[in-house]
Amino acid sequence: MATLPLNVNHLVVLAAVVEHGGYTRAAEAMGVSQPSISQQMRDLERTCGLPLVRQRGRRLEATHLGTELAALGRRIGLDAERGARLVAEHAAGLAGKLTVGASMTTAAYYVPRALVRLRAQRPALAVDLEIANTADVAQATVDELVDVGVVEGTVERPELRYVKLGDDRLTCIVPAAHALRERDVDVAALLHETLLLREPGSGTREAVVDALAARGVHFSATIDVGSNDAILQSVAEGLGIAWLSERAVIANRSRGFGSVRVTDIAVAREIGYVRRTDLALSPPAAAFVTALGLECALDSGAVSEYATPRSARN
């Protein structure tokens, strides 16, 4: 049996004609002209080779075939409306999927509350969070594996645009029983200690190494540790000292370590986001960055609109 080339728009028109009982009311409901409705009905009946409506007094009534096709047309019309709403929701960033790449510190202490704000506004949005160090987040953004990357420290790559959202200060932590705990000290008083550093590619490591190098300071004993949590536990166990984000220190203050105030060296780094230079942020990504800016502003007083920070350098 050959398949008839039915025009789905004609089926939607038929559904309106049957619902409203005539061409004129159907045309008014659809916002088109009555001659257009009449022509589309003639075309549909010609394609079918059978009558689809008949006059009953002042109303048109559907034939048996017309009733069945009108039911199809109504479902098509409803699906088209749903499709239009989906397009509008995706365009507004209310639905769809967002993949965020985040460095370890930002993933633990900045991104979660930003995502809470985002999901409160866009509950239908699906979100994936990919966690890695800053260098790997930058690479994932270049490779389009994530929509936006949240990083510690600046990222300078030609493929990426970096925007600063705030600042993150680092605190020197020591074992709980350390003789200098809670004291003001010069960094020279700590040089006999083992310095625990994050792995190469970490924004935390870069900030610490750069700050020490700027003062001409060198620790003879260092150990690379692959996560903030492992560093916190290692310091608590007495393995060495470390500089970590103030947020990490505050959130974990009950874990058995202390801190010292190093008076002659300050360690800090920027918190920002990266995206490909050739791709604009999607509506969900833009909404997330705005929420992230609000979270970063709690620490630094940074601006909250994602498009405005560091406009001069971008």
Domain ranges (residues) in the chain = 8-91, 96-165+269-313, 168-267
Average the pLDDT over 205-214 and give the result. 94
Q: Above 90 in pLDDT, residue 88?
A: no
Cα-Cα end-to-end distance for the chain: 63
Q: Above 90 in pLDDT, residue 59?
A: no
> What band does 147 get if pLDDT is binned at 50, 70 and 90?
very high
> Which percentage of the chain shows pLDDT scores above 90?
64
pLDDT of amino acid 297: 75
Q: Above 70 in pLDDT, residue 310?
A: no
Q: Which residue has the higher pLDDT, 58 or 116?
A: 116
Which of 3-12, 132-141, 218-227, 294-303 comes out lowest in average pLDDT?
294-303
Q: Above 90 in pLDDT, residue 161?
A: yes
Its CATH architecture, for the domain 96-165+269-313, is 3-Layer(aba) Sandwich (3.40)
Q: Above 60 in pLDDT, residue 314?
A: no
Letter for the amino acid at 269? Answer: R
Mean pLDDT of the chain: 88
Domain 168-267 fold is: D-Maltodextrin-Binding Protein; domain 2 (3.40.190)
Average the pLDDT over 145-149 and give the result. 95
Each as own residue / partner, the long-range contacts of residues 145-148 (CB below 8 Å, 24 or more positions apart, any chain) are: 145/99, 145/101, 146/99, 146/100, 146/101, 147/98, 147/99, 147/100, 147/275, 147/281, 147/282, 147/284, 147/285, 148/98, 148/100, 148/101, 148/273, 148/274, 148/275, 148/281, 148/285, 148/288, 148/289
- The reply to whether 8-91 and 168-267 are identical in fold is no
- Six-digit token string for 59: 């109303």
Average the pLDDT over 178-202 and give the result. 94
Q: Above 60 in pLDDT, residue 2?
A: no
Domain 8-91 fold is: Arc Repressor Mutant, subunit A (1.10.10)
Average the pLDDT over 228-235 and give the result. 94
Q: Above 70 in pLDDT, residue 178?
A: yes
Which of 40-49, 234-243, 294-303 comes out lowest in average pLDDT?
294-303
